[in-house]
Every structure is written in C-alpha cells, then in structure tokens.
Structure 1
Amino acid sequence: MAGLLDLRLKKANKIYSEGEVLAGVIVIQTKTEFQHQGITLVAEGSVNLQLSSKSVGHFEAFYNSIKPIPLLSVTLNAAKPGKIPAGKTEIPFEVPLKAKLNKTLYETYHGVFVNVQYTLKAQAKRSLLAKDLVKTIEFIIEYKDQKVKAEPKPVPFTVTPQSLQNVKDKTALPNFIIKGRLDSASCCIKNPLTGHVIIESCNAPIKSVEIQLVRVETCGCAEGYARDATEIQNIQIGEGNVCRGLTIPMYMVFPRLFTCPTLATSNFKVEFEINLVVVLLDDHLITENFPIILTRF
C-alpha cells in the first residue's frame, strides 16, 4: 500500500465566498517512499438538475437536454513528478475561487431536483500498475453580499371554511376560525422563522398543529419547465386537541445546506414556502400556504 492522501482546509467550517482563496494542505502519510507522476488539485462547482419521474413522460427531449451547469473549474499542479519520502508530507495549496465567465457562484444547496455543489479533489498519479491516491471533499459557498435584504413583511392571516380553496363540498367542513401572524414573509436565512397561531374556535377535535417548510424547485429550458414541491422539514407546534384562544408560538430554524437564499435563473428556480397544517382527529387536514423569500442578509 502506497499511503494515505488527505485534504485539510485552513477554515474548519469550510465556508467560503466568491473571490476568496481556498487554502489548505495536502497530507500524504506513507510507511515507505514511493514515486508519483504528479499531484493535481481540481476545484469544481456545478448545478445539477434532475427531473422528477412524473415529468419525464411529458418532456423526453427535455430530459436529455438538462446538463449540469458548470460554475467553477480550477486545476492546479500541486507537485511535479517525483518521490514522496516515508512519513508525513504536507503540501500547501491556494486555489482562487473565481467563477467561470458570465457565471456566479451560487450558494451551496442540496435539494431533490436541484443541487449546487462545490468539491475539491486531490490526486497523486501513480504508474500504470499502482493505484492513484485520490481524496475529494466538499466545501461550502455562501454569499458575501446580496442586493436583496430581508425586510420585515408581517403576514396576518385568518383561516375559515369559506377561505379554503381546493374543497369540493364546504358544507361537510367543521366550523373553525384560525387566526395568527407570520412575523415576516421575507426572512434572513440565519434567523429563525417566527410568528404565532390561535385556534379561536373549532367544533371538531384537533389531533395536531404543525408548520412545514417546503422547497419548490423548477427546472427548465426551451422545451418546458417542471415544477416540484417537496417537504424539507415538519415541526409540531401543538399536540392533541389544543386549547381554544391560546397563542401558540411558531419557531423554525432554517436547516443548513437544505435551504439557500431564494434563487431564480433562466434554467432553474429554488423557492420556499411555509404550510400551516391543522390535523383533525379524523385525519383531515386544514392547510394554509405562505410563500416566503429567503435572503442571506
């Protein structure tokens, strides 16, 4: 066995911004010296788009035309061909994080149909019979500055049987009045989403009150667009047949990597929504939807 190759970044949290330098060391540990054909470093970033299975039938041609969108590609030679001595060897490196022409380094985001990911790969090339030493790590990009800033936009709401949509027979619904407020529909991703809800009246027993964070991902090109909403997280804020007239606080922290500032480009969109869900004892749902805008600052 030739040895172990590892990548260590100077920043422990691995968070960088466009224009910064990705600095660190390549660490090679080996019991015996070995020869290599050169050590290379490759920093890459791309947006990977995928269509949900329900969209594939509609857009067969479109399905083939969704290629990854490259954002970053930097290759450096960390060491010329030579020998690595026995023991521990550290090779320092610095990689400039500069986007490709006419591109922006979007924030790291791990979604279902849209993925924005940045990786750093080190490779020590060996002779034909020996196996190359390879190590890949992910680093995270966050905006340093953003034009759109979060501004308080309170959203008061009242939910009654008459205000509900997508209901065929409103006479079958129980009578209820649910009031409350989202403190802002424009949220800074670093701060929690807050608000409150009050079940003023409901003549059917309640099983649970929940808030749901939903990602809405749109992938598209000239042939058409596919829009899919999927749940990121669900938080229960009331258990059982909650007291009427009681103010129930809402508090939700936005999960890292699974959320990012709201993003709209010509090829894809990443948007977010909040659902307030009241689950009745018979498992019927009363749902109110709130589109929200996420910003970094």
Structure 2
Amino acid sequence: MSIEIKLSRFNRIYRPDEILEGKLIARLTSAISYQSIRLTVNGTVNLQVRGGSAGVVESLYGVIKPIPIVKKVVDVRSSGKIGSDTIFCDPKRPEGRESGKVLRNLPWRQYQHPDVVRGYLHKSLSATTEFIVESEKDNLPQKPVSPETVIFYITQDTQKHALLPELKSGGFRVTGKICTQCSLVDPLVGELTVEKSAIPIQSTDIHLLRVESILIGDRISTESTLMQTTQIADGDVCRGLTLPIYIILPRLLTCPTIFAGPFSIEFKVSIVITFLLDQSKKHKKVADPKAPKSWVAMESVPLELVRTM
C-alpha cells in the first residue's frame, strides 16, 4: 500500500499568487478505512552535517535548530473508506484545490507531505514531494541580466594545498574566463585554455557548489555541497586550444543568491584540473569530492544567481 503526489505542473514551480493543484493517488491492494486525510506544506532551512564534515559545523550541529519559513495544514477529507487506486485532490473537483494561495516571500524549496491517518492499530500512509515558490514577477529586473565574467589562471604557484613534487617541478598554466553572475534560466558560460603542462592531464571538470550559512549567536556555521560536476574535456588536451564552457544549471538545486537575516545561500564554481599520475589512478573514488588532492589543481570563483522575467 502506498500513496503518491502528482502536482499539476511537471516543473513544480509556482508563483506566490497561484493555486497549488495536483492529485493524491492511493495505491491499495484492498479497501481500507481512515480517520482523516490531510496535506502539510513545510518550508524550513536546516543545516546537515555530511560525510567528511568536521570542525565548527560538527561542533555546532547539536544546537542548530531548523528555521521555519512556512507551515500550512489542509484537510482533504474526514473519516471514511477508500478502495484500490483511488484519486483524491483532483483539480477538477472542488475539494481538490488547495484552499489558499501559495504563501509569499518563500526564497527556497518547500515540501508537501500528505498523511492518511488510519487509527491507533494501523500505520499511517504518507509521501513527500518538493516544489519551488518563486517571487513576484513585478519585483524582477525587466531586462535580462548581462553576464559578468572573471579571468582566472591556474598554476603551481596559485594552489593553497600541497602538490606532488612532479607537478611543482614540471609546472603548468591554465587560463580562461567564466561567468560570475547570470540568470537562473541561462547557461553558465566561459572558456578555458591549457597553455602548458609538463604532466599529462587526465580530466578537466567544472564543479558547481552551494554554500549555506546559518548564524548561531555570534558565530556563523557554513557548509558547502557539491551539486553538479560537468566534464569539459576527457584526457590530455592540445596546448593552446580554447575549450568552451557551457553548463545548464540544475533548477531544482539552485535558487537566486540569498542573504536573509540569520541564513544565506550562495554559490561557487570550481575549475578542477586532474593530472595523470600514479596516485590519481589509484584514487578514482574519493569519500569527499570537495577535498583537495595532491594531484589536482583548482581555482574557485563566486557565482551570483539572479532570477529574471
């Protein structure tokens, strides 16, 4: 037995003044009785410690409480009985429409959670789906945002982590430019050139990271999450050849850059060059992909995301 939520929009993106519509489908092997069916909309900001995290985030995790943004409960039906493959919350029926508008000023993703309460001796049925609430169109820039780019260069002298002796003695230089401000609906663009490298290159990748920060008293706890990795080139590329950078942003994992009181959501782009050495062959799978490795050179730049009409 299970229940499933199907929203009316495949992209799950809504405006503050729009109705949240969809279907609640119960898939049952036989008819069951229930005490109530209700939908709960929750929106919170919560910092979670992932594998490899340590230091201030780990020490403060026990006192960090989720910051609520919105919570709304809608009763779909009172007690009754349902048969197999029953559809509730059909937008064509009056009881299927959410009783209010989507709440305003929600800067991040929200979660819809339905419950079918079956009584004391039976386990309740539940499911969760995610949707996005975007701000009003009137508050958005009327013209598309002109992408801002920054010029970067990567050499053995720009690396803050330890490198293998072969990389430090042989030397390398990678230059290029990449967008540092762009619209959510536009791709992340730029270019990259390997000017010289004494060591063959195994892979050239672009990492997209989300940086979430929460203010706790007089301290700020920050965590970076690797959202997407895009390979720009596989293998040792020709020297002096300009490689294009063209990355589609993952819409369900990104939002406009936010600074909202006790928390903020920012983004970073890392250009990662992996060299073909014995160590890189032996360590293809690493527990923490964000941790710098001695056979890797990288450069990170901030990325500001803006939503436009």
Residues 35, 152 of structure 1: alpha-carbon distance in 2 compared, 3 angstrom cutoff: closer
User: Residue 297 of structure 2 aligns to which amino acid in structure 1?
Assistant: I
Q: CA contact under 8 A between 1:35 and 1:83: conserved in structure 2?
A: yes
Aligned residue among 141, 160, 163 for 1:166: 160
For normalisation by structure 1, the TM-score amounts to 0.77
Residues 210, 84 of structure 1: alpha-carbon distance in 2 compared, 3 angstrom cutoff: closer
Give the strand-richer structure, 1 or 2.
1
Q: CA contact under 8 A between 1:107 and 1:140: conserved in structure 2?
A: no
Whole-angstrom distance in 2 between the partners of 1:7 and 1:286: 44
For each residue in 1:65-87, what CA deviation from the matched residue of structure 2 results, as whole angstroms up to 9, or x when unmatched? 31112222222222233455788
Match for residue 239 of structure 1? Answer: 234
For each residue in 1:148-171, what CA deviation from the matched residue of structure 2 results, as whole angstroms up to 9, or x when unmatched? 773321222334445x14267999
Residues 128, 240 of structure 1: alpha-carbon distance in 2 compared, 3 angstrom cutoff: closer
Q: CA contact under 8 A between 1:7 and 1:135: conserved in structure 2?
A: no
SS for the counterpart of 1:63 is: helix
Q: CA deviation at 1:236?
A: 2.4
Match for residue 292 of structure 2? Answer: none
Structure 2: gaps spanning 5 or more residues? 90-94, 281-294
Match for residue 254 of structure 1? Answer: 249
User: Residue 276 of structure 2 aligns to which amino acid in structure 1?
Assistant: L
Aligned residue among 66, 69, 78 for 2:67: 69
Q: CA RMSD in A?
A: 3.4
Match for residue 105 of structure 2? Answer: 104
Residues 30, 147 of structure 1: alpha-carbon distance in 2 compared, 3 angstrom cutoff: closer
Structure 1: gaps spanning 5 or more residues? 109-116
Is residue 209 of structure 2 the alignment partner of residue 214 of structure 1?
yes
Alignment of 1:10-159 (within 5 A): 10-27=8-25, 35-51=33-49, 53-55=53-55, 59=59, 62-84=60-82, 88=86, 90-91=88-89, 92-95=95-98, 96-99=100-103, 104-108=105-109, 117-123=110-116, 125-129=117-121, 131=122, 133-144=124-135, 145=137, 147=140, 150-159=145-154
Sequence identity, in percent? 29
SS for the counterpart of 1:21 is: coil
Give the helix-richer structure, 1 or 2.
2
Is residue 175 of structure 2 the alignment partner of residue 179 of structure 1?
yes
For each residue in 1:17-52, what CA deviation from the matched residue of structure 2 results, as whole angstroms up to 9, or x when unmatched? 323211234445778766543333322222222246
SS for the counterpart of 1:49 is: coil
* The 10-residue stretch of structure 1 (143-152 or 44-53) with the greater mean CA deviation from structure 2: 143-152
* The 10-residue stretch of structure 1 (139-148 or 250-259) with the greater mean CA deviation from structure 2: 139-148
For normalisation by structure 2, the TM-score amounts to 0.74
